[in-house]
Amino acid sequence: MHTLELTVNGQTCRVEVGLKTTLLEVLRDKLYITSPKVGCNTGDCGTCSVLLDGVLVRSCITNALSVQGKSVTTLEGITEPGDIHPLQKAFHEHYGSQCGFCTPGMILASKALLDVNPSPTRDEVKQALSGNLCRCTGYVKIIDSVLAAADEMKS
Amino acid sequence: MSKVIGQRVTRYDGMSHVTGETKFVDDQVVPGTLTVKALRSPVSKGKIKNLDISAAAKMPGVAGIITAADVPCNAFGLVPDQPVLVSEDIRYRGEAIAAVAAVDEDAAMEALEKIGLDIQEQQAVLDPLESMKEGAPQVRPEGNLQMWDGHDYRQVNLGDVDQAFEQADEIVESTHLHPSVEHAPMEPICSLAVPHAGPKLTVYTVSQALYFHLGMLCGILQMEPGSVQCKQWKAKTGSAWRHNTGYADVNYIGGTVGGGFGGKNDIMADHVAALLALKTGRPCKWRWTRAEDLLYSTFRGAWHITIKDAVTKQGRIIGRQMTSIRDAGAYASLNPYVVEKHCYLGAGPYFIPNVRVRGYCVYTNKPPASSMRGFGITPAAFATEVQLDKIADRLGMDPWEVRLTNAFRKGEYTPTKRVLNSVAMIEVLQNLAAKAGVELPGHLKAMASTQERG
């Protein structure tokens, strides 16, 4: 076993991990942070997406020891008590979430986009979300939500 | 002012979805939970000659192993014909034979490798058209075709179809192949069973059909002493579907489903997780991998549909003969119900006064198919709409006109003689045309569902 030190949602943590432990397993099974989901465990569906030093990664194919000393943000980390992120508000109000299983990954992928491009076009949103699958919405409402959040954040 | 009518209403669970608070089955954290893995058949058809779990049971980290011998009532489903775990006859590749509960995934996987399994492989039948033939390899003892009232097909008969074909100006026939479709919900199949003191159990389920599955689960588990035994219940009613005793012993928690689309209408993991929880006395979670979910969960079965229509020069369909073959896979699941709905709505949203539909539910050595959005109606609609285009082609008519000419009107009836008093098919088509930028001719624009057919 090896000791992994990382910061999760602003909190420093120390956990024991094996050589093949994934970041997703650290988050879900050791820290009980359950918003990143196990959808495919092969890096194809995007439900496990988290931000690693602000960059979108698929935690199911990210080796835990490779994030030594880094900072991880999950959906829980962008929610302030009593206050939600404009992306969360927009996904709620514009029906960007149906069953909710892909939603954590979708919102983080959207945040990764808006952090570097506050005024994306529809096509840029599609491109940014191309690694995240959804089986309920047909994506239209998700893209609407991201564009609505971008508008809200500018005003 | 109403709070909801005419207003945009947000989802009741929307806020917890966007904050990540929503707890799906896999998100439930119960300390000490064991990981479940199943030994699945490597062949499509065969007989188990020997199954030896003794070495696997001694592996470090293993808390319990179950086989068919551990299942109190090893038959479930609509018919019920499906075993929880195979006792002897394997009917599809991937069918579960044994299941292990261990302290972690590695220990469970290592134990699976230690299970001794000797199978005599047999010739499988994978094509439903082959399975229907005389002398085809037998898929299940009940026969390769689902029976209905002494017939090996479900039939819906309305009017005099033979006479309609004599009166027809044109006869249009077409055959349609609809492939199988996997629902692929984002949340894979998952179950968490937690035992309590006494014969009590909490099961967290991904089920889309909580009360049906609660009944089935109670039937499989036979938890309540002195309750109606599953086999007696089956003998009495022909179905273990609504085995309505023992409910008090199972706390069945569900409703938070990460996408289903009809793919979580059958028990796939709850029975195994529950049996292992009862055997080990510890919480047991069985989460299928994405590969298991894609390969072995239920799916929309494939269809082979032939439609023959008696048509007048004016484009009226006056008779329809339809023969549909459903590839059901190895077990009934919801297949017979799917075929029934397909037959009832085989004429689509059109008034055809003479109809003969035969729906065959054919078993093959493949994972069981089941429901998916619309049950069997969607493939019937697909075949009907393609057929209507073919009729338009043959007659040199506008496809809009063929549809509007045959669309249901108020007071007309379906092939099962269900009279329709609230009908809007014509108006829907007119709206569709407008939205698609199609300018319908005046006589089609003037049509209305409330007009009596001339």
Kindly list the domain boundaries of chain B, sorted by start residue: 20-121+184-296, 140-181+299-445
Q: Which residues pair with B176 in a beta bridge?
A: B305
Of B14, B29, B184, Cβ closest to residue A32: B29
Lowest mean pLDDT segment, chosen from A107-116, B18-27, B153-162, B216-225: B216-225
Mean pLDDT, rounded, for B33-48: 98
The pLDDT of residue A155 is: 85
Within 10 angstroms of residue B100's Cβ, the number of other Cβ atoms is 29
Question: Does the domain spanning B20-121+184-296 belong to CATH 3.90.1170.50?
Answer: yes
pLDDT for B226 beyond 50: no
B90-101: pLDDT as tens digits: 999 999 999 999
| Predicted local distance difference test score (pLDDT) of residue A37 | 98
| Interval B57-62 mean pLDDT | 97
Give the model's pLDDT for residue B420.
Answer: 96
> Minimal Cα–Cα distance from B373 to chain A, Å?
12
Mean pLDDT by 10 residues, chain A (155 residues): 97 97 98 98 98 98 98 94 93 97 98 98 98 97 98 93
A2-77 is classed in which CATH architecture? Roll (3.10)
Question: Does residue A153 belong to the interface with chain B, where contact is any CB pair within 8 Å?
Answer: no
Question: What pLDDT score was predicted for residue B2?
Answer: 78
- pLDDT at residue B79 tops 50: yes
The yes-or-no verdict on residue B356 having pLDDT over 60 is: yes
pLDDT digits (tens, 9 = 90+) for B158-205: 999 999 999 999 999 999 999 999 999 999 999 999 999 865 899 999
The pLDDT assigned to B238 comes to 54
HSE-CB of A145 using CA atoms within 13 angstroms? 29
Residue B294 has what pLDDT?
97
The ranges of chain A annotated as CATH 3.10.20.30 are 2-77
Task: Work out the widest C-alpha separation in chain A, in whole angstroms.
Answer: 49
Q: Which of B27, B186, B261 sits opposite A45 (nearest CB)?
A: B186
Q: What is the pLDDT of residue B216?
A: 85
Q: Give the model's pLDDT for residue B338.
A: 97
User: For B44-48, B115-119, B210-214, which range has the lowest pLDDT when averaged over its residues?
Assistant: B210-214
**Complete DSSP assignment for A62-110:** SBGGGGTT-EEE-GGGG-BTTB--HHHHHHHHTT--SSSSSHHHHHHHH
Q: How far is B63 from chain A (nearest CA, A)?
A: 20
A139 touches chain B (CB under 8 A): no
The pLDDT, as a whole number, for residue B236 is 55
pLDDT for position B53:
98
Average pLDDT rounded to a whole number, residues B328-349: 96
pTM confidence score: 0.94
CA distance B106 to chain A (A): 11
Structure token digits, residue B449: 């569902």
Count chain A–chain B contacts defined by CB atoms under 8 A: 97
How far away is chain B from the Cα of A142, in angstroms, using its nearest Cα?
12
- CB contact at 8 A, B252 and B221: no
**pLDDT attached to residue B227:** 45
| pLDDT tens for each residue of B228-244 | 444 555 555 555 444 45
Which amino acid type is present at position B375?
A: F
Contacts of B26 in chain A (CB under 8 A): 34, 37-38
Domain B140-181+299-445 has CATH 3.30.365.10: yes
Reported confidence tier of residue B39, pLDDT bands at 50, 70, 90: very high
d(C-alpha B117, C-alpha B338), whole Å: 35
Could you tell me if A73 and B223 are in contact, meaning their C-beta atoms sit under 8 angstroms apart? no
B-chain residues near A75 (CB < 8 A): 19-20
Determine the pLDDT at residue A9.
97
Contact assessment for residue B180 and residue B273, using Cβ atoms and an 8 Å cutoff: no
B103 in A contact zone (CB under 8 Å): no
| CA neighbor of B429 nearest in space, from B398, B396, B402, B400 | B400
Q: pLDDT value at position B13?
A: 95
Every domain of chain A with CATH number 1.10.150.120 lies at 86-154
Going across the sheet that includes B96-102, the strands are: B62-66, B96-102, B34-40, B284-287, B190-196, B200-205, B250-253
- CB of A84 within 8 Å of a chain B CB? The answer is yes
Structure tokens at B245: 């005793």
Q: How far apart are CA B229 and CA A137, in angstroms?
A: 44
pLDDT, tens digit (0-9, with 9 covering 90-100), for B249-284: 889 999 999 999 999 999 999 999 999 999 999 999
For residue B22, the chain A residues in CB contact (below 8 A) are: 100
Q: Class of A86-154 per CATH?
A: mainly alpha
Chain-chain contact of B188 with A38 (C-beta, under 8 angstroms):
yes
Closest CA to B274 of B36, B32, B26: B36
- Evaluate if residue B416 carries a pLDDT over 60: yes
